[in-house]
Structure formats: structure tokens, C-alpha cells
Amino acid sequence: MPKIIKTTCPYCGVGCGILAELDKEGSVSITGDPQHPANFGRLCSKGAALGDTLNMEGRLLFPEVEGKTESWDVALNTVTDRLQNIIIEHGPDSVAFYVSGQLLTEDYYVANKLMKGFIGSANIDTNSRLCMSSAVAGQKRAFGSDTVPCNYEDLERAKLVILTGSNTAWCHPVLFQRIKKAKIDNPDMMVVVIDPRKTATVEIADIHLPIKSGTDHILFNGLLVYLKNANERNELFVDHFTEGLDAAMEMAESHAASSEEVAAQCDLTLDEVEKFYRLFARTERVVTVYSQGINQWSYGTDRVNSIINCHLYTGRIGRPGMGPFSITGQPNAMGGREVGGLANQLAAHMDIHNEDHRSLVKTFWDSPSIPEQEGLKAVDLFDAMDSGKIKAVWIMATNPAVSMPDSNKVKRALDKCEFVVVSDCMRNTDTTRFANVLLPAQTWGERDGTVTNSERRISRQRPFLPAPGQAKADWWIMSEVAKRLGYTEHFSYSKPADIFKEHAALSGYENNVVEGNNKLRDFDISGLQYLSYTDYDDFNPIQWPVSKEAPEGTPRLFSNGYFYTENSKARFIAVNNSSEAQALSEKYPLRLNTGRIRDQWHTMTRTGMSARLSGHIYEPFIQIHPADAATLALNDNELAKVSSELAYIVCRVAVSDSQRQGNVFIPMHWNDEFASCAVVDSLVNTTVDPFSGQPEFKATPVNVKSYQAKWYGFLLSRRKLNIEQASYWTVSRGEGLWRYEIAGDQVPSDWAECARTLLCQHADTVEWTEYFDSAVNRYRAARIENGRLESCIFIGPDFSLPERDWLLKLFNDNHLKEMDRNSVLTGKPVSAEKDSGKVVCACFNVGINTLIDTIKSKEITSPEQVGELLRAGTNCGSCLPEIKEIINLNSSI
Ligand code: SF4
């Protein structure tokens, strides 16, 4: 019988349940868990391809100290001694932890306890700072607590869903599928998408507001004024359960008094603005979903509060089908917040500035001290490292050398830092190269613990594979260091369940019932503190709070109108009309927005290993409006150099009218492991929101220039190569091969020699075929080994190179057919077989040419018909918006 393990997806904040099925040979198949309330069996392309990423390629398997493999004992002693010496010499604030929303709650809890309770500094921050800390700050300002009031079911029960600052179709695909299905089931349901870009999410929009980037808060301030003028104030709710309306309204009226004013500032038509306002005013059940597009600004917290204000004004919160709903980017951003993983928090949603909270946590942990001041937030933390104030850092499960703004400065800071420890599952990342000590951590499939998704639902990640080499759980690694620092009895955990139960007990410690039957603090999972090991193993997903009063969990909060402020009233916040920290200029005339793409996750350390996920978009790109491209003399598919005041990168041009004029978009994922020069965060300045410390990733002024190389090409190889000859390169995974797109500023004096050096050291022992047209500098070569295509290279003076897909397929053949062997260097088959083109459906590997041909020849008018004929779009559904767009384009020709 195959063994089936229930676990949770390690990628986005939707937190989908997964069934991992192991057969006798040890191979794993992944499907959605039909019983998990987050996804009911659905998965997106990333979740569905998790099985592809379970290989050992690139894993960090043994501890290393200064580049040398060592035992755990030596590595842990080194970490302990070096930390201890630095603390003795420079004080506890000279060390820092930089952790991640990828960690499990149990790992996070131990990290926070060790740093804040025992090292005695609050210098622990997390990459969630970059993702949703403005949502945290906005919620705390409005509700007195970091509380997400809604749940996913509310999206289905709403009559109006507003998606703002969220490309839900690509970034939270299963939620997108749930909204889409709800809309089919309930044709009255309306969806408004507010986004400067026409993203895949617009597919389900009844109204798309292509707003001027950065002006959403003006739109919501205008909505607040409109609601007042339309007499939509919920008297009972506002009068009894809120405060601060007058100041918020006055501020909103100062710059968004009329729809005309709003339309002008947001660059929308009056009709668009009023349609949206009327819809909001007349619809009781409204959920406003927001994500990084709202949070990642230097005034992100205000933007969050502009949304919450409108829900408070209408009392649309705490009831089914309504509320402001922050969707987190990472799988355990919420769990990190619960344990106090941010530098300005204490454990269990307690406040570091609150003396009672500090004393409570200190007593509970029996710790020597708790810092009175908040620690350094992410950007400040790396600045302090750069200035020499932070002398030791321990980085866990994250890659700040890629993901932090001004990432080159972060690299410099890491280089300067006296002692860098990195715990990771991968050996080579842009960050591990700075480590003095590398500690091999377990990863998904091996880890054991819990995560909390965007709707406060705690689920288990369960192990189903043995940990390879000497990889260990992060909580174990930190506990061992804590013990060596002398805190044995405080960190004597034998299993993750011990940590979870302590975390649960702390959440209920002196957390008494107060006004409105609320507990003193929102985060309370004390109902889970007495779980047995078996209960923990069998744990079913549940939404916090979970307490004696709510043993089955809590689907939504604030239904009683009581909040966690001192007087239990929610607060309206006055939001002014702030704008981007950095103005555009003649030198930097375009506004850069960064974000995710459909099939990659963060810095690609896992998804970049999957051929299936690398087929859809395999190169870093800049999406630019046709008018801007024309002004800058940029052509689609050529290379461009994108510069900000800080740095430059090189990527492929994608001209698209789905981009707003004046704005450009570049994905966040590429790094030095996958491209020569494409770390987009190296361009982003370090200005942060004053309340949340979240950087402004959405608004960097840049200029874009055509990058003219002397030659262009591509290279396919079964082996990973070191391409020193190219000035530009990107690498992506194909089935059984690596695919390189390359370009160079210098033409080699001898192409043949250059290609042989790269592809075969001993050319005389392998079959080598080549072609060179010196007149036009066009060179092609292929290496065939034991009848198989081992590698090939195609070089030309411009972009007119063969399509790659037929060649990619040849790598599946264990023995090339004679006719294929003869036509390898032409790059296309002799037969009438057509190249299937760039992958659109990652699940069934259906290319764009196949789709276009089938749509044309069969006169297809719906994605369902495509699914029947090609299966494309019938699994995870992530590609459906793109298929629909291809159908629309075809019908308009
Ligand atoms: S939506 Fe996709 S990436 Fe997000 S949790 Fe679900 S399967 Fe994973």
C-alpha cells in the first residue's frame, strides 16, 4: 500500500493542504488534499510541481566551518564560542538573527526566545518585514492588534470582492480559483481589480481600475468621503465601536473631496471612479483583499489604513462575507508574527514597548532579561552591519543578498561582517558565499512542525522523507547553541510538539477574558497547550483563537464589535495624500515595480530546479508599455540595461500594453545563481515606511536603454556550465538539461575553440559537429555522446536564432534518429513537425504554438474547449487567463 502523508505547501500564504503519496520505490506523487479547508484539493502550478523539487541537487548536506566540512559538534561549538565572545566584547546588540517566513512556527519560536529572552537583544527580524509588515502596522493602528478578521469562505460569501495591490491569479492562485468558482456559482457577485497593470487577475474583473501606481490610498480616501455624502455611515457601529472618524474624514476631504479630484489624482475616468464607489456603497457584503502592492511603499501602512477606514465606516467587518483582508506572501508569515519574529514584537502578539508584556514573557520563559527597546528592522539591521555595529549575524532560510533592497550594499555588509552563520538547505546561494559557518537545515518533506496561513489557520507540515546527509531541524540547531550558551533547561525540547505546546501555553498565559467577552490579547491558542504527541501528529487545520471559550477555533474576529485597543474601540486613522519617496527625473523617468511571476518562488532555490516551472518564463524580463518602448527605441525581445541611482541589471524586453505608460515591471526572482546580472533588488532604494519599516519595492525611478551585444545565442547542455565567455547569461532548467541564453560584448577570435573549451575538453573523444559562417559570424555546434545529444550551441549576430523547443525535445531521446542528427545544426526538424513554442500550460507541457494552431484550426472560443482537446488548463488552472488571452487575440485577428 502506498503511504499517504498529509502536509502543507511551503510556498505562498494560501497554505494549501497537500497529500504526499510514497510508493514502494520511494517516488513521491503530490496532489491537493481534498479535505484541507484552504484549497479543498486544488493546487496551483507551483504546488503541483513540488514533487519535481525533491531531489538532492545542490543540497547542503554537512556543516562547514570556513569552507571545510566539520562535525555538528565542531560547527555548533564554533557558533557558540564566536557569538559568546562577540557578546562579551561588544554587548548583546552586536549580534543579530535574520530569519524567514519559510521557517516553521516551532523554529521561529525558538529563534525569538533565544534572541529576545536569553541573548538579551531584540535584533531579530525576518524577511516578512519586506512582505507584509505594513499590513501588521496598519492592523495594529486600527484594531490594537495584528488581527486578520476574515477567512477564505468570506471571499465566497461576499457580493463584492475588491482585489487591490494583488495579482491574485499568479501570487495566490488557489484563492483566485476559489473566487472565480464563487463568481460562476453566484453570477451576482462582482469583482473589482485595482491595479496599474492589466495582470492575469483582470480575467475575472467586472471592473478593472488601471490606477496610477501609488494612489490607491487616495481612491480609498475618496471612497470614505463618498460614503459620507451617500449617507452610508453605519451609525450604530461607528458610534459604539470606533473613534477618530472626524480627523480621518477631515484629512480625506482635504485632498479627495470629490470623485473628480480623485479621478484626476488616480488618473482614472470619473465614470470608473463613480462606478466603483456606487458599487461599494450599495453592496453590504464586501471583502477588500490586499497584498504586497499595497504594503510595499514608503507609506504602505497609511495605504492599509485607508482601506480599513472604509470598512469601519460601513461596519463591514466581523460578519460573514465582509472585511479588509490582508493576504500574506509567505507560507508562515503569520506564524512568524505569532511568535514575535519581528524586531518590534514580543512573543504571542505581545508588545515589546509594554512593560507588563515584557514582565509576563520574562516570567514565563524564566529568562534573565527581555530587551526594553525594539531591535533593528531588516534594512536598519543590514545598515548596522555595514557600519560595523552588528558584528555577527545568523541568517536562516532566506537569501537577503538577493531579496533586500540595495542588495549590493547588503552583500558588502555581509562581506564586512565579522561572523556570518547561514542555516540553509542549499549549498550555493547568493548569501551562503558570505558564510563563515554553514549549517545544513532540513527542508520541505523532511521538516516537522506547523505553519499558519493568511486566514489564521494553523496546519501541519509533516515529514515524509528522511533528512539527507546531516541536515537537521532549525529548532534543534538553535536549541543546541542555546544549551551550549548555558540555557539547557530552557531549551530541552525533544520534539517540535514540545515547542508548540509551550508556544500555545504562552499565548494563554494571563490572557484573561475582558470586555465584550474578548480575551486581553487576540492571539490565544491555549486550547492546544495540552496536546499529546499523538494529538500533535494527528492535528487537523484550525483557525486561531483556539481556547477554552472557542475549542473549535474561530472563523472570524470582531463579530462582537470589540477590538484590542485600550478602550476596545477600533481607530480610524487619518491618511494623507503621500507619494513616492523618490521623484522621477529626466535621468530616471520610469517607475519600476517589482513582483512575482506565476511559476517561480522567491529566489528560485527550489522552483528553479523544476523544468516544468522553468518553461513558462525562463529569463528575467522588463515589461514596458509600447509607447515607452517606442520613445526609448526598444524592441520586443532584445536586451535592455535597466539602471537606477544604485546599480544596473540586464534583462529581456517584453513590450506589452498590459503595462501602464511610465511604469515598468521586473520580476523579483532572478539572482546570481541563475543570471549574470539580474538582481532587481540591487536597483531598489532603502527608503522604508516610518511605521512598519517596510521598503518601497514598487516605485524605484529607473532608466532603460537598449543593450547591444556583439553576438547573441543559446546553449543547451546536460551539464551545468560556467559560461565565462558571455557578458550576459541566464540559465534555466529543462528536462534533463540546462538552458542558457547568452550574449557577448567581445567576439572570440576562434568560435570553434571557444565552443570546444566550453562543451568538450577532449573534442577528439566525442562526436562533434559544427558549422561556421564567418561572413555573418554565425556559429553552431553540437556534441553527441553515445548516440545522445549532450549539448549544442547556437550563436548569431542578432536575435534571429532557431526556436529552442524542438532541440529541447531531442534531449529526451536516448539515441538520436539519423534524420534528427542530420538536422540538429539547422535547429529544426526535417519533417513537417512544428515547434510547440514557449510553454503556457506547465502541468501538461503545452506550448504557445500548439495552442494558437489548435485554436485557429478548430475555431475554438473557450478555454474549456482547449482543455478538452489539449488538456491545457485542466489541472491547476494557473494558465487559464493566458489561454483566454490567446483565444481573445485569435478572435480579434
Ligand atoms: S496557491 Fe499554490 S503556492 Fe500557494 S499554497 Fe496553494 S499550491 Fe502552494
- CA-44 nearest atom, ligand 1: 2
Backbone angles phi, psi at 120, to 5 degrees: 90, 25
Q: Note the residue count of the chain.
A: 893
Distance CA 216, CA 164 (A): 8
Closest CA to 122 of 377, 395, 339, 477: 377
**206 phi and psi, to 5 degrees?**
-80, -35
Residue 617 reports pLDDT greater than 70? yes
Residues with CB under 6 A from ligand 1: 9, 11-12, 14-16, 39, 43-44, 46-47, 172-174
- Of 305-314, 451-460, 752-761, where does mean pLDDT reach its minimum? 752-761
CA of 44 to the centre of ligand 1 (A): 6
- Residue with the nearest Cα to atom 6 of ligand 1? 16
597 alpha carbon – ligand 1 mean position (Å)? 13
pLDDT above 90 (res 887) = no
How far is residue 499 CA from its own chain's centroid? 27
Q: Which of 30, 40, 44, 597 to mutate to test the pocket of ligand 1 (most atoms within 8 A of CB)?
A: 44
pLDDT given for residue 879 in this prediction: 82
Q: State the distance between the two ends of the chain, measured CA to CA, in whole angstroms.
A: 53
**Is the CB of residue 102 less than 8 Å from the CB of residue 10?**
yes
Nearest CA to 848 out of 833, 863, 836, 834 is that of: 836
Q: Give 18-22 contacts, CB < 8 A, sequence gap 24+.
A: 18/43, 18/47, 18/50, 20/445, 20/464, 22/464
C-alpha 721 chain-centroid distance = 28
Q: What is the pLDDT of residue 43?
A: 94
Which atom of ligand 1 is nearest to 38's Cα?
Answer: 6
By most ligand atoms within 8 Å of CB, the mutation choice from 7, 16, 876 for ligand 1 is 16
Nearest CA to ligand 1 atom 2: 44
Candidate from 374-383, 781-790, 884-893 with smallest mean pLDDT: 884-893
**Could you tell me which residues come within 8 angstroms of residue 728 by beta carbon, excluding any fewer than 6 positions away?**
639, 650, 676, 677, 707, 709, 741, 742, 743, 744
Which atom of ligand 1 is found nearest the CA of 12?
4
Q: Helix-strand-coil percent breakdown of the chain, rounded to 5? A: 35, 20, 45
Distance from Cα 326 to the centre of ligand 1, integer Å: 16
pLDDT beyond 70 at 61:
yes
d(CA 45, CA 39): 13
Residue nearest ligand 1's atom 4 by CA? 12
Distance CA 715, CA 728 (A): 13
pLDDT of residue 725: 84
pLDDT in tens, 418-434: 999 999 999 999 999 99
Distance CA 665, CA 818 (A): 45
The candidate with the shortest Cα–Cα distance to 201, out of 167, 171, 174, 234, is 167
Distance (angstroms) between ligand 1 centre and the Cα of 149 equals: 21
Residue 65's H or E segment, with its range, is strand 64-65
Task: Give the position, in ligand 1's atom list, of the atom nearest the Cα of 10.
Answer: 8
What pLDDT sits at residue 893? 57
- Give 175 Cα–ligand 1 centroid separation in angstroms: 9
Could you give the angle at which helices 474-484 and 105-112 cross, rounded to 10 degrees? 20
What confidence tens digit (pLDDT) does each residue in 776-801 have?
889 999 999 888 999 999 999 988 88
* Residue from 7, 14, 455 whose mutation best tests the ligand 1 pocket (most atoms within 8 A of CB): 14
**Cα separation, 782 vs 807, whole angstroms:** 11
Closest atom of ligand 1 to CA, residue 173:
1
pLDDT score at 762: 59
Look at residue 609 in the predicted model and tell me its pLDDT. 87
Beta strands in 707-814, from DSSP E residues, in sequence order: 711-717, 728-734, 737-744, 767-773, 778-785, 788-796
pLDDT at res. 883: 85
Q: Residue 259, SS3?
A: helix
Going from the Cα of 298 to the center of ligand 1, the distance in angstroms, rounded, reads 28
**pLDDT top residue among 101 and 241:** 241
Grid cell 562547514 is found at 64
Of 76, 39, 311, 7, residue with least CA distance to 175 = 39
Residue 873 has pLDDT above 90, yes or no: no
Contacts of residue 105, defined as CB under 8 A and 6 or more positions apart, other chains included, come to: 332, 335, 336, 338, 339, 449, 450, 451, 452, 458, 500, 503
pLDDT (mean) for 827-856: 78
Q: Which residue has the higher pLDDT, 83 or 616?
A: 83
pTM of the complete model beyond 0.75: yes
**Which ligand 1 atom is nearest residue 174's CA?**
1
Query: In the predicted model, what is the mean pLDDT of residues 250-274?
Result: 98
- Looking at per-residue confidence, does 388 or 845 come out higher? 388
| 767-773 β-sheet, strand order | 728-734, 737-744, 711-717, 788-796, 778-785, 767-773
Q: In the beta sheet, which residues pair with residue 591?
A: 663, 701
Helix (H, G, I), strand (E, B) or coil at 810: helix
> Peptide bond preceding 37: is omega within 30 degrees of 0, i.e. cis?
no
Q: Which segment of 23-32, 38-47, 193-202, 269-278 scores lowest on mean pLDDT?
A: 23-32
Q: How many A from CA of 619 to the centre of ligand 1?
A: 22
Share of the chain above pLDDT 90, in %: 77
**What number does the ligand 1 atom closest to the CA of 43 have?**
7
Handedness of CA 46, 47, 51, 54 (dihedral sign): positive
What spacing in Å lies between the alpha carbon of 757 and ligand 1's midpoint? 42
**Angle (nearest 5°) at CA 242 between 241 and 244:** 165
Q: How confident is the model at residue 741 (pLDDT cuts 50, 70, 90)?
A: very high
User: How many angstroms separate the Cα of 657 from the Cα of each of 198, 205, 246, 654, 662?
Assistant: 8, 17, 41, 10, 11
Helix locations, 192-244, DSSP H: 216-229, 235-241
Confidence of residue 190 (pLDDT cuts 50, 70, 90): very high
Residue 143 predicted with pLDDT over 90: yes
Q: Is the pLDDT of residue 188 over 70?
A: yes
How many Å apart are CA 443 and CA 464, to the nearest integer?
11
Q: Could you tell me if 213 and 268 are in contact, meaning their C-beta atoms sit under 8 angstroms apart?
A: no
Quote the ligand 1 centre to 893 CA distance (angstroms).
35
Per-residue confidence (pLDDT) for residue 836, from 0 to 100: 75
- Please identify, by atom number, the ligand 1 atom nearest to the C-alpha of residue 14: 5
Query: For residue 839, what are the CA distances in angstroms to 81, 199, 370, 868?
Result: 51, 18, 53, 18
The closest alpha carbon to 289, from 163, 157, 133, 456, belongs to 163
Phi, psi of 44 (to 5 degrees): -95, 180
Are the beta carbons of 309 and 342 closer than 8 angstroms? no
Q: How far is the CA of 32 from the centre of ligand 1 (A)?
A: 10
- The dihedral sign for the CA sequence 365, 366, 367, 371: positive
Compute, in angstroms, the gap from residue 8 CA to the centroid of ligand 1. 9
Distance in Å, CA 61 to ligand 1 centroid:
27
Ligand 1 pocket mutation, candidates 39, 53, 453, criterion most atoms within 8 A of CB = 39
- Distance from residue 723's CA to the centre of ligand 1 (Å): 34
Interval 470-490: pLDDT, tens: 999 999 999 999 999 999 999
Which atom of ligand 1 is least distant from the CA of 331?
5
For the segment 359-384, the average pLDDT, to the nearest whole number, is 96
Pinpoint the alpha helices (H) of 28-71: 45-48
Residue 88: is its pLDDT beyond 70?
yes
CA distance 2 to 689: 51
pLDDT digits (tens, 9 = 90+) for 761-771: 655 567 888 89
Shortest-distance atom of ligand 1 to CA 172? 1
Q: For residue 2, name the pLDDT band (cuts at 50, 70, 90).
A: low
Q: Where are the beta strands (DSSP E) in 284-415?
A: 286-290, 323-326, 392-396
Pairwise CA distance, residues 22 & 29, whole Å:
7
Q: What is the position in ligand 1's atom list of the atom closest to the CA of 47? A: 7
Decide if pLDDT at 573 tops 90: yes
Of 341 and 247, more confident:
247
What residues contact residue 831 under an 8 Å CB cut-off, 6+ apart?
Answer: 819
User: 14 CA to middle of ligand 1, Å?
Assistant: 6
Asked which of 4-18, 381-395, 510-524, 786-800 is least confident by mean pLDDT, the reply is 510-524
Which of ligand 1's atoms lies nearest the C-alpha of 18? 7
Ligand 1 centroid, distance to 15 Cα (angstroms): 6
Cell representation of residue 316: 463591514
Probe residue for ligand 1, chosen from 7, 42, 43 as the CB with the greatest number of ligand atoms within 8 Å: 43
Mutate which of 7, 12, 36 for ligand 1 pocket (most atoms within 8 A of beta carbon): 12
Residue 37 Cα to ligand 1 midpoint, Å, equals 13
Spacing, Cα 33 to ligand 1 middle (Å): 12
pLDDT in tens, 217-237: 999 999 999 999 999 999 999
Across 279-293, 661-675, 864-878, least confident range: 864-878
State which of 50, 174, 602, 878 you would mutate to test the pocket of ligand 1, scoring each by most atoms of that ligand within 8 A of its C-beta. Answer: 174
Residue 733 pLDDT grade (very low, low, confident, very high; cuts 50, 70, 90): very high
CA-proximal residue: ligand 1, atom 7 (nearest): 47
**Alpha-carbon torsion (129, 135, 136, 138), positive or negative:** positive
pLDDT band at 640 (very low <50, low <70, confident <90, very high): very high
State the average pLDDT over residues 192-203: 95
pLDDT at 40: 96
Secondary structure of 528-572 in HEC code, one letter for each residue: HCCCCHHHHHCCCCEECCCCCCCCCCCCCCCCCCCCCCCCCCEEC
Substitution candidate for ligand 1 out of 7, 8, 33, 46 with most atoms within 8 A of CB = 46
Please tell me the distance between residue 511's alpha carbon and the centre of ligand 1 in angstroms. 34
Query: What is the whole-number distance in angstroms between the Cα of residue 128 and the centre of ligand 1?
Result: 17
